[in-house]
Structures are given as C-alpha cells and as structure tokens.
Amino acid sequence: MEASQKVLYVDASTGFYRVRRYRIGDYFGPVDLGLHISGRTMSLNFGTGLFAGSILPGSNRLIFSGFSPCWRSFYVSSMGGAGLVFDNLGINLVSLVGKSPVPSILYLNRLHGEEIEVELLPVDLSALWGMGVEGTVRGGAAALGRGLTEGRAGAYALLDHALARLGGRYESSYRALAVGPAAAVTDFGAILSAPVQDGRATDVDTWAGRGGLGSKMLQEHGIAAVVYGGTVIDDDFRDRKVADQWFEEKYRQKLAVKDFEATTKYRFDPKFETGGTFGVNYAGMGGKLLALNYRSIHWTEEERKAVHERLVLGHYLKQFNEETIAQKSQATCGEPCAAVCKKLRGEYKKDYEPYQALGPLCGVFDQRAAERLNRASDSGGFDAISLGGVLAWLMDCLDRGELSGEDLGVAARPRWTMEGFDAVADSAHNADLGLELIGSILGRRGILDLSEGPRKWARKVRRDKGVRILDRFVATANGRKGWMVPNQYWTPGVLSPMAIMGKYYMHYGGDFMPPRELGRACAERLRKELAMDNAGLCRFHRAWGEEMMPEAVGLVYGKKDEYLEAVSVAASRINSRNAAVFWESEADVDLVRTFLQRRRDVEKDDSPELARWIAAFEADPKEAALDFWFEIRKGIDESLRDFL
C-alpha cells in the first residue's frame, strides 16, 4: 500500500468520528496538511511528523494548527515531547470540528486492532478552576491572582483531573492536554501538557502557548482537555546505523555526537558557565536588556549595563545558576534527548522568554517573585509571553497615570524607579501587582475586557488630554483585531510584517540588515522553520535539522525535492493570507529606531545604509517607519510569491 497519513476527524458536536488517509507526496506533515484541512473546516488540528517515535532526537513534537483567535489568521504552535505518546494511536493527525454543547474531555485510546476509541465526557470547569467561566470568584482580583499560585490550580487541576479520571483505561503510556480559565475569557489561552509518571503529571510542563489555540479549543470546540494513548507499534525509523551513516556523510560525525554538539546551549554552555535559554541569553545580554515595558530602550547604554550587572547578573541569573544549573536540576520534555533543556527549581520550569516577559519587562528581577507570577500565568492557562507583554503595558499605563487603579480593578502602582531598586522587595511588589492584574483580566474587573484582544479594548479607551494607551503597547498587528507580543529580543525582525509572528518564523538576529534584505531573510527563516515543524522536529536541533529533515524524507520516502517544494508551497499559501498592519503604536516605532541608533553608537556599525535610515528616522519618524515596514514587506512578498 502506498505510504499515507491518517487523519482522525472528530465532530465535537455529535461525537461522530472517521479516519481519512492522505497520500505522502500530496501532503507531508501536520503543517501543510493542517493548512489544507483548516481552509475547509476551520478546525483545530494536532498531530506529529513522519519521524515521530524514530531514532532522530527531537522528532516528537506535537504540532497544533488552525485559525488563531488571537492572531486572527492561520497559526502553528508546537509542544515538546507530547508526540511520542500520540504516535501510539497509530494516526498522524486529529482534526476537531464542531462544538460540544458542554465543556468536555476528549478521550482517545487505541488498544488492539484498527479501531480508535473516541469519547466525549462532560467536565465541570467551575469546580476544577475554582471560578466560573466569566471569572466570578470571591475575594476580588488579588485573591483570584494569588489563588493561581497555590498548589495545582487552574489548568493544572484540570490536567490532573483528566489523568485521574481516564488514566486507568490505558494499558501503556498516556498523556493529557488541558486549558485554564484564560481559554474561557481571553483570546490568548494556551494548551498545557506534561509527561506522566506513575499516573501523575510531572513538573516538566510543555506548552503550545503562542497563538491562543487553547482559547480556540475551548471556545470554538468546547474541548477543555484531551487524554490520549495507545498500544500501536508501527514501523518507525529506528536504525541507528543508517542514521549514523547519513550524519557521517554530511557532517563526518555520528548522529549522537552531532546532536550533542548542536544542543550545547540548551544543556550547558561552558563559554557562559550556564545553560538553557534563560542562562545563556541573560549571561550575554549586557546592554540589550529589555525592561519596564521596553522603557530601557530609551536609557543610555551605561544605564542598561548597570541594571544588567546589578539586578540580572548579580541577582536574577545568579539565583538561577546556584539553584538550577549548579544542582543539575534539568529534564527533557518527555522524549530521549541530549539537550535536557527543561531547567527546573522544584515545580518551576525556567525558560528565557516567559521569565523575561513576566520578569524584567514587568519590573521583576527576583526568582521568587518571578516564580509566583509565572505560576499564576501557567495555572491561568495563558500564553506567558503575551501575558507578560500585556501586564507590562498595563503597569506602564498605571505608572504614568494614563489608567487608574479603578480602571483596572487594582489598588497598587508599580515600583519602576531603577535608582535604589530593591531586587527582592520591589520585585515582590511588582509581582503582586501582576497577580492582581491577572485576576482583573480573568474577572473582567474595572473596564478591563480582553475577550477580543488588547487592540480592540485599547481603541475603546479614551483618556483625557488625548492620551492613546495603544501607543504604549509593543505588539505586531494582523488584520482588524489580531495581535502578538513579540519574541523578547531587541531587533526589528521581531516586528516584521510576516503572516505568522510570535514564533521564530522570522530573522531575529542582532545584526543590521537593510529592510528589504531583512524581509528576504524572514521569508527564508519561515521556510526553514516550516521544514522542521512539518517534520515534527524541535527547533533546538536546527543546527542539523534544517538540512537533514528534507534529506531524511528523501532517504526514507524518496521524496526530498517534493518535500522541499511542499514546504515552499505552504509558506507561500500562509503568506497569501498575510494581513499584517503597519506598526500602530509609537512604542513599536521606537523599538526599531533605537535599535538602529544602538547599532551605530554602540556596535559601531558604520554602513552607509544604516546611516541613511537613522537620518530618515531623525527627520520624520513616522514616515521613515512606514517606509522601513513596507520595504520589509516587499522582501517577504517577493521571496514567497512563486509557489501560489
């Protein structure tokens, strides 16, 4: 029989399901197949690449796709390790259509034979979350925010309930997905999972965070959790000798050696004497520090370095290195992998972007304070990076007096004065304010209502003296309401007008590129990232994955060229839906303008093209920003137009 992918369609409104096959060659993985299905059914899709369960490290990501309620267009989000158990279902993709009349758990199991067991079981979210789906809770915003830091609340409570309720039905390994209250009342709810040991979820959280696909799963399909597993043993690629031969021919190294070398940053980098995204990024950050809702971009280089030296190197990173790196407290996402990228302190998992957005960006430079704020975000089931950007923005408006405590349902104001800033006490104060704001978001207190995203809400807010609070919000905009807090790097690439933002489908290096060239680099990055996501491969293995995954498709299925063409076609089709909106906040323009100035003044980049753009921004910032934005867009479109 010709090789094919199997898709399980589940209609959540009726419980009916069916399996359909798609020939490998027509489609190759969860991205291009998910794009095809989403365009016809508006479904939420999740599944694995062709090499799930194989010998290739990092090949067990669970890839989610669908039209995002947050971004308002097609989106791809991925979750580490969760594909290893999914592969035991003997299918490649689940496609959810329809909406359950009541919030439900989707149960998927495959014991013996061809038939998959599918069942929908109602679940009482109010009881599990300790709040109604409209955020009603006794004690106000502060109590709700603090409650999410205590024990296994919110999304964790639902995850634990789903595993306890259905785990006994499985003969072998199983796993669950769950959402939190953010999925009910905002458009940026995430999806939580964790490896299971002895019937219980471990502390090694894995997330499909970006894009709000947790909100989609609950609001559009009525599915609050999914439990899955099976006993299928298929013909996964497991021949290490063959894999070693591939790698020796390409890199003159065996697979394990090459992968160990490629994942140094995520394990332990001796150059920085730390490891993981948190450790390595903060160790080398210096004057590129982003803090206090990006106010730091307006500081002098000396001021940024002084804050980085005192509060990050001297405290925030020091705590991490002593408590996590020195203790070798690390784990994988649930699959065998040399990266051991999950850096832990007890129940707290430390990654750079969540602990940056819900850390220095919000005025938090202490691990205990950041742990509480991140835990509340995770229990609430938020995309942590987006939440950090939103909280920092609201704190900024509070600090400037552009929004009042009454507006936001909170009592305090942030402590954002860096002179004399107390790393412990002031961080704790700012984290407490963040917890209150989380409670206000979930409870829709004051005038705060993010059910349709911050852009739409901000446009409704009119302040005295013509203040426009949207000008303080750093985000990319898509269409009328779509939005995304950017990746936490000070570079124009993170604000590029790409069709999917918030992931690494763009160039985020710190070098200066003329904007049209930057657009072309973003388009090339999109193709390379899609080649890995469509194969279900973790991007932490990209040093070899970008080259080897198409090669592997060619060597196993004889379709390398077809795979590369399919990726290019998918990139072009995604870009055909590109509804990017010109930077609508002054803060967006400032981030780009100050980056250019820093390249000249600090990095000593003397290129004439850089000088020309700086002069244009100094003469007319808005006009220069519009030209810069459109030049990036030109580079993107001219690179992705040929495969429609």
Alpha helices in 290-412 (DSSP H): 301-307, 317-320, 352-357, 367-380, 384-400, 405-408
Mean pLDDT over each residue of the chain, to the nearest integer: 93
Lowest mean pLDDT among 108-112, 226-230, 471-475: 108-112
Is the confidence at residue 643, as pLDDT, over 80?
no
> CB 600: neighbour CB atoms within 10 A?
16
Whole-number pLDDT of residue 259: 78
Give the tens place of pLDDT for each residue, 384-406: 999 999 999 999 999 999 999 99
Would 4-231 and 263-454 be classified into the same CATH topology?
Answer: no
Q: Which of 107, 82, 329 is nearest to 209 (CA)?
A: 82
Q: Where are the domains of the chain?
A: 4-231, 263-454, 491-644
CA–CA gap between residue 598 and residue 591 (Å, rounded): 11
Whole-number pLDDT of residue 236: 61
Q: Which residue has the higher pLDDT, 145 or 39?
A: 39
Confidence of residue 57 (pLDDT cuts 50, 70, 90): confident
Whole-number pLDDT of residue 243: 67
Distances (CA, A) of 586 to 473, 474, 480: 8, 8, 18
CA–CA gap between residue 435 and residue 372 (Å, rounded): 8
Task: Please determine, looking at this structure, whether the domain spanning 263-454 carries the CATH number 1.10.3210.10.
Answer: no
Confidence of residue 142 (pLDDT cuts 50, 70, 90): low
Confidence of residue 124 (pLDDT cuts 50, 70, 90): very high
Whole-number pLDDT of residue 146: 75
CA–CA gap between residue 60 and residue 53 (Å, rounded): 7
Using DSSP bridges, classify how beta strands 4-11 and 17-23 pair: parallel, antiparallel or unpaired. antiparallel
Q: Provide the CATH number for the domain formed by 4-231 in this structure.
A: 3.60.9.10
Confidence of residue 137 (pLDDT cuts 50, 70, 90): very low
Question: Is the pTM for the entire model greater than 0.85?
Answer: yes
Give the tens place of pLDDT for each residue, 8-54: 999 999 999 999 999 999 999 999 999 999 999 999 999 999 988 88
Lowest mean pLDDT among 97-101, 368-372, 538-542: 538-542
Q: Which of 626, 518, 636 is nearest to 571 (CA)?
A: 636
Q: Which of 49, 33, 44 is nearest to 539 (CA)?
A: 49
Whole-number pLDDT of residue 282: 97
Q: Which residue has the higher pLDDT, 70 or 59?
A: 70
Alpha helices in 71-187 (DSSP H): 83-86, 125-129, 140-147, 155-166, 182-185
Distances (CA, A) of 286 to 57, 308, 312: 33, 6, 9
- Intra-chain end-to-end CA distance of the chain, in Å: 30
Give the tens place of pLDDT for each residue, 71-90: 999 999 999 999 999 999 99
Confidence of residue 265 (pLDDT cuts 50, 70, 90): confident
